[in-house]
Amino acid sequence: MSDLTKLTIAGARDALRKGDTTATELTQACLDAIEGAGALNAFVHKTPEIALERAKAADARIKAGDAPAMCGIPVGIKDLFCTRGVDSQAASRILQGFKPEYESTVSQKLVDAGSIMLGKLNMDEFAMGSSNETSVYGNAVNPWKSGDTDLTPGGSSGGSAAAVAADLCLAATGTDTGGSIRQPAAFTGIVGLKPTYGRCSRWGIVAFASSLDQAGPMTKTVRDAAIMMQAMAGHDPKDSTSADLAVPDFEAMLTGDIRGKTIGIPREYRMDGMPAEIESLWAEGRKMLEDAGAKIVDISLPHTKYALPAYYVIAPAEASSNLARYDGVRYGHRAKLAQGDGITDMYEKTRAEGFGPEVQRRVMVGTYVLSAGFYDAYYNRARKVRALIKKDFDDAFASGVDAILTPATPSAAFPLGQTHDDPVQMYLNDVFTVTVNLAGLPGISVPTGLDSQGLPLGLQLIGRPWEEGDLLNTAHVLESAAGFVAKPGKWW
Amino acid sequence: MLDLTYEPPKPKVIQGAKHDWELVIGLEVHAQVASKAKLFSGASTQFGAEPNSNVAFVDAAMPGMLPVINEFCVEQAVRTGLGLKASINLRSAFDRKNYFYPDLPQGYQISQLYHPIVGEGEVLVDMAPGIARLVRIERIHIEQDAGKSIHDMDPNMSFVDLNRTGVALMEIVSRPDIRGPEEAAAYVVKLRQIMRYLGTCDGNMQNGNLRADVNVSVCRPGDYERYQETQDFSHLGTRCEIKNMNSMRFIQAAIEYEARRQIALIEDGKEVVQETRLYDPDKGETRSMRSKEEAHDYRYFPCPDLLPLEIEQAWVDDIAASLPELPDEKRARFVLDYGMTEYDASVLTADVESAMFFENVARGRDGKTAANWVINELFGRLKKDDLGISESPVSAAQLGAILDLLGRDEISGKIAKDLFEIVWTEGGDPAQIVEDRGMKQVTDTGAIEAAVDEVIAANPGQVEKAKANPKLAGWFVGQVMKATGGKANPKAVNDLVAAKLGL
């Protein structure tokens, strides 16, 4: 089989079970694809030995006949996940050389399910960014091109998105704090699911903003997202915020039937200056769901416009505290000190050298909004806004809405280098996605069309808490109706 | 019935150069929770382990590690709250207190600023029989301890030991109800006593398991009463906080020094600056650590890694039902049940092991005698050998047996003390020892009479004197006791001497 790496998880699973291919073959094909895709800069730490060893074990399991769905599936792991004995540096200089002695719960679950880690994926430094350009490794590149222009794969899970879209792996893990799974998925024409806060354990994932961070799958299809979500999810006693709830069989919930479901269209997501293409994509999505038998209602989420500023207070506040541990004392980078330098010099030099400008900006913003005298004006007010945003969604769901349809991003993938000098422009990328994190809801980005330049665009569906199964089913309907099959032409 | 009536002690008055001054003191006591594991990790809390050996990934703040609350530590805090008659908050929450220091790996301490687990309570601080200060507790919260920085092992380097990092502490915050150095020390003693009864803190100050930050201010007589009426702090002076003291003696000395320093400043027309100070026990003075302006901005905010801590009333009720008898109640009961003085009751209830030892001795015996023996003989002997009650070579059963022999007149008081010493050094069954070594009291009047006759016959001069002065009969009694090796029944000897001398 020459196109092994183009397989979906579901397709590969079936092929593996039938004996049409082996995990080793599949893994080797991915490793070869990765070797040939240096220009994408998606994989930043490659683990071929681990991959082939696990492939061998997966083949044995498949042969034995009791392999779970993810068994033998080669995946990429975002660099934010701690992986035992493998560089895990959150794309930051400050964690240079850090090889954890432990494995994150989510990546361990994937190992337990028999999936195969090919390596670690590029991302924005500490998951802070929407274009992958804050990475210490240099940015990943979108396999989709606009003419000759290199585009961002989005961020922060840009390496994951690029790798999946370019068929370097069958799927990848991402994390989403304000849109970091959904935005890059939309920019690369793949599916990205951020589950309900608490569905996946955060244990072993380098923290950005703890009350917002969630891991999720980035896949080629909605079905794959369901399969991979199944393996990643579940209660973890090591994470107090992970929910002690049973994980349903998500794939079995993909019935394709959404008759009688109510889909809300929030008027506040119709932004001034929104490209017409996004507007019409949204309208098409609405029509597709209506045609599939769903009831479409216009709804209001009145506090939406406060979400982005609230997010950019809360996330940096938590980050400023979460990143305090990177001090050069115990692990990672430590600055060379001059004669007579004291402990404060060590902190200052280490952190100045170790953190990139965007991380430093957010640490400073976060420190500022938490400081005495500003706490109430910023942090506390942002928390109140957050509660109101959550209430907006609660009210919508209470009124009978099952899912909410919005654009995933305000534009298609933009050229690299565009947001360098304007962080606020970059932050605006998150305008449709941050509400979901603030409210702790599940959200999924589904590729539904191409813009006039032939670049993928996505729509976002937002579901009720803990109803990922239902959400995936609606997404599955949207995906089928949209019939998105486009692939980037290989140029790398 | 068990309600002890008491009067508050007089506040300490310090005479300045110009006026009299009073002290106003509040304490923040950090008590290490008696728990084998840390507050948010499974690492051991064992004292004296190899540096950095009791450290879990989360204690070292490795990337991606998360805290998980140790339920036992929560239970201990609730137990402590109940022991201090405090309200328990069924919903509390954890906050992060952010600051940089190498022995604080996370860069923040997880504490409870906004919603502590325990609310208002009270402690009765005994100063003397009938004199006690009721100190109000403002709150108790649970938090992580920091590690230890070691600066004096190497001229160029500092070392960090994370063994203590993440160990659970209870911070017990009092109201400014304490009015003198002795009261402050007595307050800590009482807290320690209650927590040791409860088993929630071992109270070992030497190991740092109990430390106090002391807030001290001074005011003119009358000001404190005005504050009490209005709860308006402006009636009180500017306070300074003396950090991290781990001895009762230092607490008193530091307060005394600090009060005099503040008085001198004010009387000199200067101002007391609100600041954090350290006590230097070598020099016996406090010195500035950081002023209010230099104070850290801790940027407290709710810890997003932990859900609010919700506990059930039924669970609290279960803990309440399992509380032991506490010192105040036990002391009152000892006075009532055993007819002892309040002072003796205080001594015997100072720690729960002593009280238990005493009750084991007193059970079925005369309480007063038991109290005397435990306090005078046993405690005296323990002190001499620098032993704790749990290390006593004489068990409660052995001491009880000695008292039984004494009660049955089988041995005299003096012999009993000798017997106690034998049991102390050699062990064994007291009754058997008395039997084996012929220590039984001679009650055979014939034998005693012979001894009396002998002494009288041998000392005619003394006989004459005694007839003139009956008080000298005691000399004859002494001689007879000596002649019988102390075994003669003293009452029988007395009676016979009196009769023979015709007194």
Where do the domains of chain B lie?
13-310, 321-436, 445-501
A341–chain B Cβ distance below 8 A for any pair: no
Tens of pLDDT, residue by residue over B328-375, are: 999 999 999 999 999 999 999 999 999 999 999 999 999 999 999 999
Residue A204 has pLDDT above 50, yes or no: yes
Position B2 scores a pLDDT of 45
Q: Concatenated DSSP letters for A106-151? A: HHHHHHHTT-EEEEEE--SGGG--SSSTT-TT-----SSEETTEEB
Residue type at B395? S
Cβ atoms of A81 and A173 within 8 Å: the answer is yes
Residue A111 has pLDDT above 60, yes or no: yes
Mark yes or no for CB contact A98/B301 under 8 Å: no
Contacts of B66 in chain A (CB under 8 A): 202-203, 238-240
Position A1 scores a pLDDT of 46
Closest CA to A169 of A229, A121, A233, A113: A121
d(CA B503, CA B465): 12
The runs of H, that is alpha helices, within B138-206 are: 181-198
Mark yes or no for CB contact B299/A82 under 8 Å: no
A461–chain B Cβ distance below 8 A for any pair: no
The percentage of residues in chain B with a pLDDT greater than 70, rounded to a whole number, is 98
What's B274's DSSP letter?
P
Residue B260 has pLDDT above 90, yes or no: yes
Catalytic positions of A, written as ranges: 78, 156, 180
What's B374's DSSP letter?
I
**Nearest residue on chain B to A89, judged by CA atoms?**
B63
Q: Concatenated DSSP letters for B33-62? A: ---SB-SSS--B--TTPPTT-S--TTTTT-
A283–chain B Cβ distance below 8 A for any pair: no
Mark yes or no for CB contact B307/A100 under 8 Å: no
Three-class SS of residue B97? Answer: strand
Position A108 scores a pLDDT of 98
Position B443 scores a pLDDT of 67
Q: A272: pLDDT confidence band, cut at 50, 70 and 90?
A: confident
Position A469 scores a pLDDT of 98
Position B327 scores a pLDDT of 96
A329–chain B Cβ distance below 8 A for any pair: yes
Name the architecture of domain A2-258. Alpha-Beta Complex (3.90)
Closest CA to A197 of A443, A441, A479: A441
Name the architecture of domain B445-501. Orthogonal Bundle (1.10)
Burial B86-124 (b: 16+ CB within 10 A, else e): bebbeebbbbbbbebbbbbbbbbbbbbbebbbbbebebb
d(CA B404, CA B419): 12
Position B466 scores a pLDDT of 82
Residue B3 has pLDDT above 70, yes or no: no
Average pLDDT, integer, range A256-270: 97
d(CA A162, CA A492): 12
Position A2 scores a pLDDT of 55
Tens of pLDDT, residue by residue over B483-492, are: 887 778 777 8
Block residue for tokens 């996370």: B106
Per-residue H/E/C for B378-446:
HHHHHHHCCCCHHHCCCCHHHHHHHHHHHHCCCCCHHHHHHHHHHHHHHCCCHHHHHHHCCCCCECCHH
Peptide bond into B149 cis (omega under 30): no
Contacts of B65 in chain A (CB under 8 A): 203-204
Longest dimension (CA), chain B: 98
Block residue for tokens 């109290």: B371
Mean pLDDT of all residues belonging to chain A: 96
Mark yes or no for CB contact B68/A206 under 8 Å: no
For chain A, domain boundaries:
2-258
Residue A248 has pLDDT above 50, yes or no: yes
Tens of pLDDT, residue by residue over B182-231, are: 999 999 999 999 999 999 999 999 999 999 999 999 999 999 999 999 99
Query: In degrees rounded to 5, what are phi and psi of residue B289?
Result: -105, -50
d(CA A358, CA A91): 12
Residue B479 has pLDDT above 70, yes or no: yes
Tens of pLDDT, residue by residue over B303-322, are: 999 999 999 999 999 999 99
Position B121 scores a pLDDT of 98
* Residues forming beta bridges with residue A172, ordered by sequence position: A76, A218
Residue type at A290? E
Mean pLDDT of all residues belonging to chain B: 93
* Residues forming beta bridges with residue A403, ordered by sequence position: A263, A463
> Of B68, B100, B102, which has the smallest distance from its Cβ to A238's Cβ?
B68
Mark yes or no for CB contact B305/A367 under 8 Å: no
